[in-house]
């Protein structure tokens, strides 16, 4: 019998070996697709029927030996391990020792390709360090409606911004040898009825709006795609040949990886799914809503000829090709965690820590860069935070001597909710569900404020949303910092959180947050509000004269406290921009969430291309804060617009200068209006750039509009066609704040 001491020594050695593997360089040799398929085909040819079935079928949700969210059966004799699939878009889920990165919607708010890619690379490094082969992300579901429960996992309602977020994230993740999985294909835009609703989408709308980010993911050479729960035009996504089949949407655009089902998203027969283009089923067994199709029927379907051996071989090869392409066959760390014991108590959990100072700093930078300054009454006249007044931002501890921190969103959240963050009783850093991430290292705002302020000012707190307590704390203070939030998440097997079942019930702040702001502002003439939210919320109180500044901080991940302190006290000049419009009236968005139905509903996308700012433009609706909007502590001037042809593209050049008193980053945006005959929205985003500038400095900005940027999807020729006629180019700081205009 092994002694306890011996077991401990063995465990220590195992941990040491895994740590050494994790510490190894993430470098690898990227193979071509041709070489990868040659290797995959050669290995597939040596497999037995049962081995092939094990590659294309998950090992089961109810498998007690499962260590990852999804796994396949290894073929040890051929050197093929169990492939490990794990959530989620914003960090490694169901384990400790990982970074809680900012969400997709916050990453979009940076309008920074640099940070999008850096976040992807950091995510890939942590997934690799945990031995995970497939990062289940990024999510790129368009925010069709502002209340959509999981829209915070993706990059917003604009297809161009969403597509850039997808492209850069995938490029970053796969740069360290981890497979990315683009999800959820496609028109997966609400949580209610998601397991069987039909999204009815016309061909042009599909290509230009909902499918466009997936097209960009193909251009990033994404390893895999996940088909969604919902039906598209009447057919379940995972056996929808028009989407995933040999002549379907993704194959026509050159997708070379494999299609994996969402967990339990398969229905009907094994042959229906395999012949339609599904390559892998996860988790492999039936989980109340579906699944268990391949495991129970694929072998017999092949034996009976309903699925050809050629098709089965293709499925296996498509799965193995990205494995070889990204060098996962050599020096890849073994799985070192146990997703079924995320608290670290599992015997298979080695508690390997993949965090780093670089990742923490990056999470903090993205959280700061995604903070959107919506209102600021302060007009600074010097290059220091002191300025000429104590109201507004940035705050100065040389002038502010008493601070009230109000609202439960400022305090530490309940870390015992479970791994899905199914509660909202503290600061809101991320939504709930399978896209959530670890809160093990979260730093709430109150802790960061106390640490930064120290003894320089007195701090009075009311860390609840009790209206009277908030008022009492704020009376007579130099500044009141009010923290409010709104949350959403995944439907499925997750709890109803404060009466919200995935999708939000409305656009209100939770816990009477709007009333809290108004009551505090009534007694403090320097009330600064920080909003943590998964999407647009009612900000009708923002016009209150005593509300001197408003920061929309979104869902910023674990570094929520330090990042907001950086912005509040001027250590980081805000540069975030809204990746959606903010309006109090849900009707201003032109879509609805279908809550009540006698069965799985059909949802016709009759608004077609007109969602969010596109719809508002078409109806001459002026939102409270428009798409692309965001203030800075400094000011910028635009000049010198030129537009010149370059082959089939147009090159847009202009200058941006920092005319204020702080160094800062401007986010110039390029919108185009198509010729009137094209039938497009009034204006659409087609370019953006991140331009850091010191005081008094200027920079030339070049944004190239490609042939496709200038094209529409022509349903007659099934191709991108550039319409003839005059195009108008709008350059500015938001869709409404246009600084330069030109045409070609």
Q: Per the structure block, which two tokens stand in for 487?
A: 């949350």
Q: Per the structure block, which two tokens stand in for 399?
A: 């002038």
Q: What percent of the chain has pLDDT over 70?
A: 95
pLDDT over 60 at 23, yes or no: no
What integer pLDDT is reported at residue 482 of this predicted model?
98
Q: Are 690 and 645 in contact (CB under 8 A)?
A: no
Q: How confident is the model at residue 10 (pLDDT cuts 50, 70, 90)?
A: very low
Residues 578-588 have pLDDT tens digits of 999 999 899 99
pLDDT over 60 at 3, yes or no: no
Q: Are 110 and 369 in contact (CB under 8 A)?
A: yes
- Phi, psi angles (nearest 5°) of residue 278: -75, 130
pLDDT over 50 at 13, yes or no: no
Residues 210-265 have pLDDT tens digits of 999 999 999 999 999 999 999 999 999 999 999 999 999 999 999 999 999 999 99
pLDDT over 80 at 493, yes or no: no
- Least confident residue range of 224-238, 410-424, 693-707: 410-424
Catalytic residue among 87, 221, 262, 279: 262
Q: What is the mean pLDDT of residues 603-628?
A: 97
Side-chain half-sphere exposure of 143, counting CA atoms within 13 A: 31
Query: How far is the CA of 483 from the CAs of 445, 513, 514, 553, in angstroms?
Result: 9, 8, 10, 10
Q: What is the mean pLDDT of residues 1-26?
A: 46
Ordered domains of the chain (ranges, CATH): 4-357 (3.20.20.300), 371-578 (3.40.50.1700), 636-743 (2.60.40.10)
Looking at the DSSP bridge assignments, the partners of residue 743 are 728
Q: How confident is the model at residue 379 (pLDDT cuts 50, 70, 90)?
A: low
Tell me whether residue 709 is one of the annotated catalytic residues: no
Residues 428-445 have pLDDT tens digits of 999 999 999 889 999 999
Q: Give the list of residues 6+ apart from residue 542 with CB closer than 8 angstroms, or none.
A: 374, 375, 529, 550, 624
**pLDDT, the chain, mean:** 93
What integer pLDDT is reported at residue 382 of this predicted model?
55
What integer pLDDT is reported at residue 636 of this predicted model?
98
């Amino acid at each position: 019998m092994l002694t306890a001491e011996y077991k401990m020594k063995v465990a220590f050695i195992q941990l040491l070996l895994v740590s050494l593997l994790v510490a190894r360089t993430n470098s690898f040799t990227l193979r071509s697709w041709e070489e990868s398929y040659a290797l995959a085909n050669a290995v597939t040819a040596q497999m037995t029927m049962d081995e092939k079935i094990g590659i294309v079928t998950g090992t089961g949700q109810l498998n007690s030996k499962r260590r990852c969210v999804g796994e396949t059966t290894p073929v040890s004799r051929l050197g093929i391990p169990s492939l490990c699939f794990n959530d989620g878009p914003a960090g490694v889920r169901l384990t400790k020792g990982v970074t809680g990165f900012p969400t997709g919607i916050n990453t979009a708010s940076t309008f920074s390709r640099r940070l999008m890619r850096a976040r992807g690379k950091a995510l890939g490094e942590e997934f690799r360090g945990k031995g995970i082969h497939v990062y289940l992300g990024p999510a790129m579901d368009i925010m069709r409606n502002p209340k959509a429960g999981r829209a915070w996992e993706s990059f917003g309602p604009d297809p161009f911004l969403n597509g850039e977020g997808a492209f850069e994230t995938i490029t970053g993740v796969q740069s360290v040898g981890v497979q990315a999985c683009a999800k959820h294909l496609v028109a997966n835009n609400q949580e209610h009825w998601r397991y069987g609703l039909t999204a009815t989408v016309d061909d042009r709308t599909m290509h230009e709006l909902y499918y466009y980010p997936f097209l960009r993911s193909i251009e990033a050479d994404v390893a895999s795609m996940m088909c969604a729960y919902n039906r598209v035009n009447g057919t379940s996504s995972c056996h929808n040949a028009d989407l995933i089949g040999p002549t379907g949407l993704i194959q026509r655009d050159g997708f070379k990886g494999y299609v994996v089902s969402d967990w339990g998203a398969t229905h009907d027969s094994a042959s229906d799914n395999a012949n339609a283009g599904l390559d892998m089923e996860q988790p492999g067994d039936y989980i109340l809503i579906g699944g268990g199709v391949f495991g129970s029927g694929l072998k017999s379907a092949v034996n009976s000829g309903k699925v050809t051996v050629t098709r089965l071989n293709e499925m296996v090869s498509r799965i193995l090709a990205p494995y070889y392409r990204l060098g996962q066959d050599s020096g890849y760390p073994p799985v070192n965690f146990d997703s079924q014991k995320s608290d670290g108590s599992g015997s298979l959990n080695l508690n390997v820590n993949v965090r780093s100072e670089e990742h923490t700093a990056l999470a903090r930078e993205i959280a700061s860069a995604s903070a959107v300054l919506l209102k600021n009454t302060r007009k600074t006249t010097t290059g220091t935070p002191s300025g000429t007044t104590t109201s507004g931002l940035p705050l100065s501890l040389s002038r502010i001597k008493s601070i009230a921190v109000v609202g439960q969103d400022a305090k530490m959240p309940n870390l015992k909710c479970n791994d899905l963050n199914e509660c909202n009783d503290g600061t809101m850093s991320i939504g709930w569900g399978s896209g959530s991430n670890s809160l093990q290292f979260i730093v709430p705002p109150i802790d960061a404020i106390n640490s930064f302020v120290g003894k320089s000012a007195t701090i009075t707190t009311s860390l609840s949303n009790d209206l009277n307590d908030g008022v009492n704390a704020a009376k007579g203070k130099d500044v009141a910092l009010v923290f409010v939030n709104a949350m959403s998440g995944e439907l499925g097997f997750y709890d109803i959180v404060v009466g919200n079942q995935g999708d939000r019930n409305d656009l209100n702040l939770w816990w009477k947050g709007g009333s809290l702001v108004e009551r505090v502002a009534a007694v403090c003439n320097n009330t600064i509000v920080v909003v943590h939210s998964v999407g647009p919320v009612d900000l009708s109180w923002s016009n209150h004269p005593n509300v001197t500044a408003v920061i929309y901080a979104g869902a910023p991940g674990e570094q929520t406290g330090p990042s907001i302190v950086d912005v509040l006290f001027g250590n980081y000049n805000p540069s975030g921009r809204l990746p959606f419009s903010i309006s109090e009236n849900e009707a201003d968005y032109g879509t609805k969430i279908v809550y009540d139905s006698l069965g799985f509903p059909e949802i016709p996308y009759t608004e077609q291309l007109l969602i969010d700012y596109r719809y508002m433009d078409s109806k001459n609706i002026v939102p409270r804060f428009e798409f692309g909007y965001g203030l800075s502590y400094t000011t910028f001037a635009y000049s010198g617009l030129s537009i010149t042809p370059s082959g089939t593209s147009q090159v847009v050049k202009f200058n941006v200068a920092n005319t204020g008193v702080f160094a800062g980053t401007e986010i110039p945006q390029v919108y185009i209006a198509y010729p009137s005959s094209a039938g497009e929205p009034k204006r659409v985003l087609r370019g953006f750039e991140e331009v850091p500038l010191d005081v008094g400095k200027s920079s030339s900005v070049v944004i190239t509009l490609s042939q496709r940027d200038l094209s529409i999807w022509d349903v007659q020729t099934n191709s991108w066609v550039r319409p003839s006629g005059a195009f108008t180019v709008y350059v500015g700081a938001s869709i409404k704040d246009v600084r330069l205009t030109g045409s070609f």
